[in-house]
Structure 1
Amino acid sequence: MWFLIFSGVILISAQSNPETLQLLDKAYKSLYENPDNTFQILQNIDENKESELIKQRLQILSSRAYNFKGDYAKSIEQSINKDLSENRNDNTSFYSDNALAQQYQSLQLYKQSIRISQNLVDNASKIKSQRYPENLLAYIYQLNASNLMVQKKWKEAEENLKQSNSLLKDSDEDFIISIENQIYETFLYISQNQIDKAGKAANEIQLKLNKTPQYIFLRAFNLDNLGRIHFLKKDYQKSTENLNQGLELIQNKSYDALKNRIYDDLSKNYLALKNEDLYQKYYSIYKEQTDKLDKNKKEAIRNLVKLNDQYENQRIEYSHKNFTSNILIISIICLIGIAAIIFTSFSEKKKTKSIQKQIDFYSKQQEFSKKIEEKEIIKTGKTEPEISKKPVFISKEKESDILARLEEFEKSENFLSKEMPLAVLAGQLETNTKYLSEVINKYKEKNYNNYINELRINYIAYLLKTDSAYLNYKVSYLAEKAGFSSHSAFTTVFKSVTGISPNTYIQQLTQNQK
C-alpha cells in the first residue's frame, strides 16, 4: 500500500510577528497549490529575528515542500543543515518526533515510523497538558492511522482517524486535515474491498474540493483514487478519464511522487484496454521516474542516519531530560543496519562487473544490485552468503518472537520489495541473520531465498486468480510487481513453485473463466 505524507504543522506563538504568521500560513497552503511557491514565500522571513519555535516551523515547512516534490534526500538534508536536533527540548520534541516519523514513512521505513507515531499517540494527554495546538494531535492521529493501515489494522486505523477529526475546528488548515482524513478513509474502504463505499467517499471529497480549486494536490490525488476505484470496478475508460484529469492538474507542478503514481495507474489501464502504445509510453515513464525516486530514497536514508546521529548526541548531552530517546535509539540501531547493508551492497557490486546487462531501463547503480538479486534467485546451490555450519542455539523465547514477527511480515506486502536480502529483513525484525536463517530453515523448511520467492509467487498467483485484470498483463509486468529483477528470473522461480510456467498458468485460468 502506498501513502503520501501530507502534513505541515502550524505552530502559533503569542509573541510571533503577525506578518510572519501570515506568511507561514500562506506557505503552508502553497504546499497544496505548488510546493515551489513555498520556498519563495519562506524567503521573505528573516529567521534570525524569529523565535526557535518559528525557526522550527520554517524548517518543517521547507522540508515538507521537498517531500511533496518527491525529493526525499533534500527533505532530510534540510533538517540536517538547519540542525533540527540542536534546539530540541520538551517544548519542541513532539514536533520533531512527528516530523521524523513522517520522514520514515515517506521512505517506507514503516517499522520505525510506527514506533514513533504510536508513542506520540500514547502521549496524547501530555501533549494536551503542554498546550500544543490541537491540530498537532490531529496530525499525529492521522499519521498513526496510516501506519496502522500498513499493518492492516483497519479498525484501529479508523478509530485514529475519528480521533483526528474530533480535534478539528474551522480553520483552513483544519479543512485540509479533514480532507486528508477522508482520503485515508477511502484507502480503508478499498483495502477492505468496500469499493462502492470508497467511490461514494471519493465523490464527496471531489464535491468539497470543487469549492477550493486552489488545492491542486488534493484534487489530483483524489482523482487518482477515483481512477483506482473505477479500475477495480473494471470501468477502465472512466478510470482513465479520472487519471488524465488528475495528471493534467499537476502536469506543470513539481509533485513528482504523485505524478509517478498516476503514470503507474495509467499504464495498468491502457494495458487492460489493450492499448499497447499508450501502455508502453506510460509504463516507460513510470519506470524511469521510479528509478530516480528510488535513487533519491537511498540518498535520503544516508541523510537520515546522519540526522539520527545528531538526535543521539543530543540525547546523551541532555540525558537528564525525559525525551522520547528510547524510540530514537531503536531507530538509530535499525538505520545503522541499513547503512551497513548499503555499504555491503556497494562492495558486492564490484564483484558483479562480469554479469551481462539484463534490463536497459534501470540506472547503473540499481542495475548492479538487481543483478545480484537475479543471480541469487537462479542459483540452486549457494543462494545466500555462507553462514557458519555450526549449530545455532536460539532460546525458545527468541524463536517465538522471530516467528511472530515473520507472521506479521507475511501479512504485509514488504516481501515484494526488490531490496529484501536476508540482512535487510533481519534488521527489520530486530534480529541477526544467523537467527533468522535458522528459524526459516527450521520452521519454514526452506532457505531464505526460497522462502521469499514462494511468498512472491503465491501473491502473484492469488492476484491472477482473484482479479481477471491481471490475466491481461504481460509476464514482465507481473515479474516487476512480484519484486523480481527480470522476466527470466520470475519465470524460473514461478515454475519451480507451481510446476508450470506463468503463461501456462494464465492460459489455464483464462480457459476456466470461459
Structure 2
Amino acid sequence: MDFTGTIQKNTKNKLFTHQLFHHNRRILLFVFIFSSLFISGQSGPDFTILADKAFLKLYQNSDESISYTQGILVSDQNTEHKMVLQNIISQAYAMKGDYVQSVNIFAQNEDTDQKTGLSYFIQIFSGYNLADQYQNLGLYNQSKRIISHLLSDQKLLKSTDPALRITTAKLYQLQALNSGINRDYPIALQNLDKSNQYLSDHNEENKILKIENKIFRASYLLKQNKLTEYKTFIDSIISDLEHWKSKPFLLGLAYENLSQYYFLKQDYTTAIEKLESGLTLVENLPFNNLKIKIFESLSRNYYAVHNDEKYHQYNKLHNDLKAKTDSSSKEGIRYLVKLVETNQNKNIEFQKHILTRSTWFLTLVLSLIVIGLFIYFLIIKSKNKELKKQFDFFEKQINQKPQPVILNKTNTAIKDSSSTKISREKEEEILQKLEEFEKSDRYLNKNMSLSLLSSQMEINTKYLSEVINNKEKNFNGYINKLRINHIVQLLREDSTFLNYKVSYLAEYSGFSSHSAFTTVFKSVTGMSPNVYIQEISKTKAV
C-alpha cells in the first residue's frame, strides 16, 4: 500500500510540475510579447495610437492638443517619441501665433545626448523640424534649402518605414508652400502630388495631411485663374469636411479659401457668408493665424460693400491680432538665433549640416544668419510703413485708368534759360517728338539710350537731355517710368500678364535685370511687382 501510494504521489507531482512548466511558459511568452510592444521604438502600436490622437487634437483645439501631448511626454522617455510629440506641441503653438513658445519647444530637442549617436529617423526628423520652424517664421528660403537637401537622399525617398514616409510627405508639403510663396504654382502642385504619394489612409494624420494638400491645391488653382476647376474641387472638399466636423480648423480654412473665389466674382455677400461660417467654427478656439486671415478677408469684403462699421470692426481685429503675432514672430527669430549661438559647441546644424567644428566656419555661418535675419526685419518694417501708401495707390487705380507719363508742353519749361541756347521753337519740336515717342513702344528696347534716341530724333543730345531733365531727374528715370506705366497698364487690361513671372515682365519691359525692374516698379507704384499682381488678381473682375 505504501509503495502504491508513493507511485501515485510521484505521478501527481510530475503532472503538476508539467502543467506548471507550460503555464509559466505561457506567462513568459505573454510578458515577452507585451514588453516587445512596449519598447519597440517608433513602430510601437501604443505610441502610434497616442501620437495619432495628439495630431488629431491639433486640428480640433490647439490648447487641448498641447495639454494632451504634454501628458504623453511625461511618461515616454523614448528619444524618437519625444521628438514627434514635441513637434506636435510646437505646431500647436505656431497655430496659436505664439512663435516664441513654438521655438522654445523646438529647442528642447537640442538636449538630446549626441554622444550616443543619432538614429536615421532622428536625423531626418530634426531636419524637418527645423524647416518647419523656418517656415512658420516666414524664412522661406532657409526652409526651402533644408528640405531640398533632405529630399536629395534616395534612402529616404525609397524607405518603406511608415514614420519616414509620413515625414517625407510633410517635407514635400512644406516645399509646396515655399514654392507657392514664390508664386511658382506648377512646382507647388508637383510637390503636393509627391506628398500624396507617401500618404495612405492608415491613420488620422495621413488623412488630415491629404485634406490639407487638397486645400492647398485648390488655392493654387485659384491663383492661376483656373476658376471652373477650382470651384468644383473646393466644393467637394467642403462637402466632405461638413460631414467630418471634428476638424474645425480645416473646414474654417476651406471656407476662407472659397470666399476668395466669390471676392473675385465680386459676389461680396456670398463671400461674407462663407467667411462668417468659417469664423463661427474657430471664433472660440485658439487658431489665431486662421482668424487673422478671416478677419482680413472680412474687412476687405465689408469695405467693398461700403459697410464702414463692419469694415472698421474686422480691420481692428485683424490689425490687433496681426501685431501681436508679428511681435511674437520677431521674438521667435531672435530666440532661434540665440539657440544657434548657445549650441555652437554641440556641432548641431540649423540650416544645412555644419560640416566642420572649426571656429571660423561657425562664426561665418552665424554671421550670415544674423545678416539674413536683419535684412528680413528691415523688409518687414518697410512693408508696414508702405501699407497705407499701397492702399491709397489701389484706391486711385480702381477709380481711374493709369495715365502714361507724357512730357507735355504746359508742364515742361526750361528752368534756366541761360544753361543752353535752345529756342522756344526747338523746345516745342523736341516735345512733339517726345510725345510721339511715348505713344510708341520704342522705350521697351533694352538698348535705348540718350544718344540713340537723339540720333533717331535727329536732335542735339544736349538739347534733348535738357528738355527731359526738366521733367524727370535724368534720362534713365524718364525711360524707366514709361516702361513701368506700360507694364502696369498691361497687367490691368490683359489678364494673361498676371500669370507671367516677374523675370519675364522685367525682360519684356526692357529692363536689364529682375532686381532693377523690381526696384523701379516699387519706386513708381509703392509696392513690389508680386504684391501689385496679387492685389490686381484679387480685385479684377472675372
Change (3 A) 1:445 1:153: closer
**Contact between 2:106 and 2:129, CA under 8 Å: does it hold in 1?**
no
| Structure 1 counterpart of 2:89 | 62
* CA displacement 1:80-108 (0-9 Å, x = unmatched): 24536655834312111111111111211
Q: How many residues align?
A: 370
Q: CA separation in 2, counterparts of 1:464 and 1:113?
A: 23
Deviation at 1:296, TM superposition (A): 0.7
Deviation at 1:283, TM superposition (A): 0.9
Give unpaired runs (5+ residues) of structure 2.
Answer: 1-37, 390-483, 485-510
* 1:186 and 2:213 correspond: no
* 1:214 and 2:246 correspond: yes
* 1:454 and 2:524 correspond: yes
Pick one of 284, 287, 291 that aligns with 2:316.
284
* 1:155 and 2:225 correspond: no
Q: CA separation in 1, counterparts of 2:377 and 2:303?
A: 38
| Structure 1 counterpart of 2:330 | 298
| SS of corresponding position for 2:72 | coil
Change (3 A) 1:196 1:52: same
Q: CA separation in 1, counterparts of 2:538 and 2:53?
A: 47
| Structure 2 counterpart of 1:120 | 150
Q: CA separation in 2, counterparts of 1:198 and 1:77?
A: 39
What are the residue-to-residue correspondences of 1:483-502 with 2, within 5 Å? none
Q: CA separation in 1, counterparts of 2:513 and 2:48?
A: 59
Q: CA separation in 1, counterparts of 2:89 and 2:514?
A: 47
| Structure 2 counterpart of 1:99 | 129
Change (3 A) 1:326 1:151: farther
| Structure 2 counterpart of 1:73 | 100
Pick one of 221, 227, 241 that aligns with 2:259.
227
| Structure 1 counterpart of 2:200 | 169
Identity %: 28
Letter in 2 for 1:226: L
| Structure 1 counterpart of 2:230 | 198
**Contact between 1:141 and 1:163, CA under 8 Å: does it hold in 2?**
yes
**Contact between 1:23 and 1:41, CA under 8 Å: does it hold in 2?**
no
Q: CA separation in 2, counterparts of 1:41 and 1:54?
A: 14
| Structure 1 counterpart of 2:65 | 38
What are the residue-to-residue correspondences of 1:456-471 with 2, within 5 Å? 456-457=526-527, 459=529, 466=536, 469=539
| Structure 2 counterpart of 1:386 | none
Deviation at 1:262, TM superposition (A): 0.3
Q: CA separation in 2, counterparts of 1:461 and 1:163?
A: 29
| Structure 2 counterpart of 1:244 | 276
| Structure 1 counterpart of 2:369 | 335
* CA displacement 1:145-192 (0-9 Å, x = unmatched): 111222232222222211111222112211111101111111211121
TM-score (norm 2): 0.60
Q: CA separation in 2, counterparts of 1:256 and 1:445?
A: 35
Q: CA separation in 2, counterparts of 1:145 and 1:183?
A: 12
Change (3 A) 1:99 1:26: same
> CA RMSD, aligned part only?
3.9
Q: CA separation in 1, counterparts of 2:154 and 2:111?
A: 22
Q: CA separation in 1, counterparts of 2:260 and 2:512?
A: 41
Give unpaired runs (5+ residues) of structure 1.
Answer: 1-11, 346-364, 375-409, 411-440, 472-514
| Structure 2 counterpart of 1:140 | 171
**Contact between 2:59 and 2:247, CA under 8 Å: does it hold in 1?**
yes
TM-score (norm 1): 0.63
* CA displacement 1:266-297 (0-9 Å, x = unmatched): 00100111111111111111111111111111
